[in-house]
Amino acid sequence: MNALALGLTLASALGWASLDALRKQLGGRLEASLVVIWISLGTVPVFLLWQIAEGMPRITPGYLLPGLACAFFNLFANVLFVRSVSLSPISLTVPLLSLVPAFTLGAGSVLLGEWLPPRALAGMALVVIASMGLFHGRGRRNPLAALMNEPGAPLMVLVAICWAMTAVLDKRSMEHADTPLHALLQNLLVGGGLVLYRRLRGRETPLPDRRESLWLVGAVLAGGAGLGFQLLAIQYTLVSLMETVKRVVGLVAALLAGRLLFGERITVSQILAVALLAGGLWMMLGGS
């Protein structure tokens, strides 16, 4: 991974990590679908301004299939994420997103022809193992027991699968459309699709009140930065490598957010797991 790709990935990771904490706050105040609607639609003007700065948008008919599939997976992932972190501690559910790079590697090899060398694969395996150490850091004997005991954990596994697919489909979609246009369309499809779904079920989509507005503004800015930098990063590196770096940063940030914002305890085993994460990441960056 070159310096440009690493910088873009780190910027994306910090944006997503900030959004994780903000979504947990919002998940306790609003329905999961409303959180996704207002964050998704709120970022549309951001990416519209970016596209205007880029000039005349580029899009071809080949965008339709990967673009719609990407929006489908993204919609479900966002709703399930908010629901997951509202049911279980963020420091015990977000670590399951470490499975995203492994799922991305499989999808990327099939759909994009992207493969990691042996040392980088070993580093990814170490990252996944260390992440499981973070997951059962509260005295649980193994990740499976934690997975069965935490109500939000199975939902987060589904989130990992969906986001693995969206990352790969993002790269395929941008072969047929400009980066800001793709981001704009994805957020419009996700937010608009949920509004339509609620309407068909006879449910209104109320505007957020003043108490949630500040949290939503922060979430929109964080989400816009996370997605924008991510879409730029995958144009310069392998999707699975970008996802691994992003997840390591997100895992560490989840521990800190859990401790500082939600009073969740950090254990010795979790600290050791972070050290293993760093080692796995070093192997990946050095072996790719």
List pLDDT tens digits, range 255-268. Answer: 777 777 767 777 77
Q: What pLDDT, in 10s, does the model give residues 135-187?
A: 554 444 455 565 667 788 888 889 989 989 999 999 999 999 999 999 999 99
Token pair for 211: 């108490």
Region 187-194 average pLDDT: 91
Q: Domain coordinates of the chain in residue numbers?
A: 3-287
- Backbone φ/ψ region at 121: left (φ over 0), alpha (ψ -120 to 50), beta: alpha
Q: What pLDDT, in 10s, does the model give residues 198-232?
A: 888 888 888 777 777 888 899 999 999 999 999 99
Contact between 76 and 201 under an 8 Å Cβ cutoff? The reply is no
- The whole-number pLDDT of residue 139 equals 46
- The whole-number pLDDT of residue 34 equals 85
Angle between helices 118-135 and 99-111 (to 10 degrees): 150
User: How much is the pTM?
Assistant: 0.80
Phi first, then psi, for residue 177 (nearest 5°) are -155, 155
